[in-house]
Amino acid sequence: TGHSPQVKAFVTQDIPFYHNLEMKHLPGADPELVLLSLRYEELERIPLSDMTREEINQLVQELGFYRKETPDAPVPEEFQFAPAKSLPILPPPQAPTSDGKTPPKHDKEEHPDL
């Protein structure tokens, strides 16, 4: 399987400009953009094989990745954790309510592993 020259150009020429953007390239596999959370949990994989270089650039910018002027340019403070910068900061789960009691858990009703 031949890789799209568009994707290859993006990987070799554009990725160095993006802060926190990494491509994992497995030999023989289609190139995929793997989005990770701040805790390095995989959020989603986006196959790039059918996209043009321009489309990929547009996609990563829509996802919130910061494109630097040059690969060595400093990254502004607010983009240090981009693209995760737009995630709302949620209170920790099971935070005590004002009366000091923790909300009841509904473990049996939830199926997080489905």
Q: What is the chain's pLDDT, residue by residue, as a tens digit (114 residues)?
A: 556 889 889 988 999 999 888 776 677 877 888 887 777 788 888 888 889 999 999 998 988 889 999 999 999 888 887 776 444 555 566 655 666 655 566 556 665 565
CB count, 10 Å around CB of 18? Answer: 21
pTM: 0.62
The SS3 assignment for 78 reads helix
- Contact yes or no for 86/64 (Cβ under 8 A): yes
Q: What is the pLDDT of residue 67?
A: 93
Residue 6's H or E segment, with its range, is helix 5-9
Instruction: Name the architecture of domain 5-79.
Output: 3-Layer(aba) Sandwich (3.40)
Tokens of 87: 């995630």
> Which residues lie across from 46 on neighbouring strands?
33
CB count, 10 Å around CB of 64? Answer: 16
Which residue ranges make up each domain of the chain? 5-79
